Amino acid sequence: MGIKRIGGWFFIIILSLLIFLPALSFAQREVKIGVILPLSGPLAPIGKSLKDGAELAADIVNKKYPGIGIPIAEWEGIPGLGGAKIKLVFSDSRGDPAWGAEQAKRLIEDEKVVGLLGAYQSAVTKTASVEAERAGIPFVNPDSTSPDLSKRGFKWFWRVTPHETWFTRDLFDFLDGLVAGKSPGVRAVPKSELEPLAIAAENTEWGAAALTEIEKFAKERGWKIAEAFKYPHKATDLTSEARKLTASKAPTFLFASYVSDAILFVKALKEMKATPRLIWGQNAGFIAPDFWKTLGGDVNGIVSRDVFSAVLGKVKPEADRINKIYKERSGFDFDGSSARDFIGVQVWAHALDKAKSTDPKALQKALNELYIPGKELIMPWMGVKFGSPFPGDTNQNELGSGIIIQYQGYPDGKPEIVFPFEVATSRLIYPFPGWK
């Protein structure tokens, strides 16, 4: 009788273990997301900041960060997956589209990731996302801005950031606003002081898209262009290109350049004693830490489109709290690039929680139906919701927006927001003060 009773209890214990062990292992397991970034070569400094932003978001999801003010900080893993942790598997694109595609394939086939994040450069994102599309694996893109990426009709690609159409519209709203006297504390600027425009764009997928958008909006808004050209990617000397800009006699210089190019242009223009009235950068190199670290006070007065500035902490306390943690770890404030990769991981976390599964079809459905309200983001956005905000767009975040910042008082000051005019944190310094 005693033996039978022991046997009965043994059976119950074994049965309980069979029932609960899968749940326990599920709760403890990791969910692998492949992240493709330029971690070597000229863009390695930007790649590191992107990596730091993504890692901080994963850490906030995986551990408890009380008092930050956004839901993922209270999760301690993905609630819908029994507390499973996000594991980011990083891969170096080397800034090479063909190699980036190979890395996407490797992450999917060898690392068995449930999805991908990346890849900053539009040309790399273009090729890597093709591999995800072929495999039927979700690719979340937080940081590439060529408009064409969301016009391919892909079913497995979702872009979080606004793209060049948004940002170029902001540029011309900014220029038109200066002419109309809408910039706080700045007199109405005669259009003749700002045109014609001179444009330099690097010869890549992103640079070509940026140039096309600027030319299109200039034509639509009635702005003259004196000079517009593409220059070689990874150039080591841009003296002749800088000379083209100065020879154009244009008062406004517009750039679509990565960090090494942006630095070379500013150094060359300073050497030539150029006297533009306005210098504007299309994000990328013009907001990278290496840009202002290398140039110091020579960045003062330069404006750039962006999506984040540390001064947003004045109106978004949660952004300030998260930025402080990021700065403690990296030594720098968030910029538009690192902040976007933070949100990219945040999107993945919400998609996994909503899907309650790592099945690709379930994740596809979750991303298509996803909504994250703006109050949960560090960006000044209305939120994240994928749709078709412009003709031809699919799976593009409809609720993003851009800002234009100006370097004021570097090395001690932070970039101030000068557009949209109604949320400006400082008066625009106009005209460009020149270099000493």
For β-strands 372-373 and 383-384, DSSP reports them as antiparallel
- Quote the tokens at residue 138: 């979700």
* pLDDT tens sequence across 163-206: 989 999 999 999 999 999 999 999 999 999 999 999 999 998 88
Burial track 102-124 (b if 16+ CB lie within 10 A, e otherwise): bbbbbbbeeeebbbbbbbbbbbb
CATH code: domain 165-312+402-423 is 3.40.50.2300
Which residues, 6 or more positions from 424, have their beta carbon under 8 angstroms from its beta carbon?
A: 183, 184, 416, 417, 418
Digit-coded pLDDT (tens) for 314-327: 888 999 999 999 99
Q: What is the CA radius of gyration of the chain?
A: 24
CA-CA-CA-CA torsion sign (214, 215, 218, 220): negative
Confidence of residue 312 (pLDDT cuts 50, 70, 90): confident
Question: CATH assignment of 24-161+314-397?
Answer: 3.40.50.2300
Give the dihedral of Cα atoms 208, 211, 217, 223; nearest 10 deg. Answer: -160
Between 23-32, 188-197, 335-344, 376-385, the lowest mean confidence (pLDDT) is in 23-32
Q: Which residue has the higher pLDDT, 93 or 43?
A: 93
Please check the confidence at residue 26 and state whether its pLDDT lies above 80.
no
Average pLDDT in the 118-145 region? 97
**Which of residues 149 and 287 earns the better pLDDT score?**
149
Sheet holding 139-141, edge to edge: 85-92, 30-37, 115-118, 139-141, 157-159, 396-397, 386-387
What's the burial of 18, exposed, middle or buried (CB within 10 Å: 0-12/13-18/19+)? exposed
Domain ranges of the chain: 24-161+314-397, 165-312+402-423
Query: Mean pLDDT over residues 33-60, rounded?
Result: 96
What are 354-358's contacts with CB under 8 Å, separation 24+?
A: 354/80, 355/80, 356/80, 356/81, 357/81, 358/31, 358/81, 358/114
Burial class (CB in 10 A: 0-12, 13-18, 19+), 68: middle
Fold match between domain 24-161+314-397 and domain 165-312+402-423: yes
Share of the chain above pLDDT 70, in %: 94
Distance CA 320, CA 313 (A): 4
Residue 385, pLDDT above cutoff 60:
yes
- pLDDT at position 8 is 52
The more confident residue out of 422 and 372 is 372
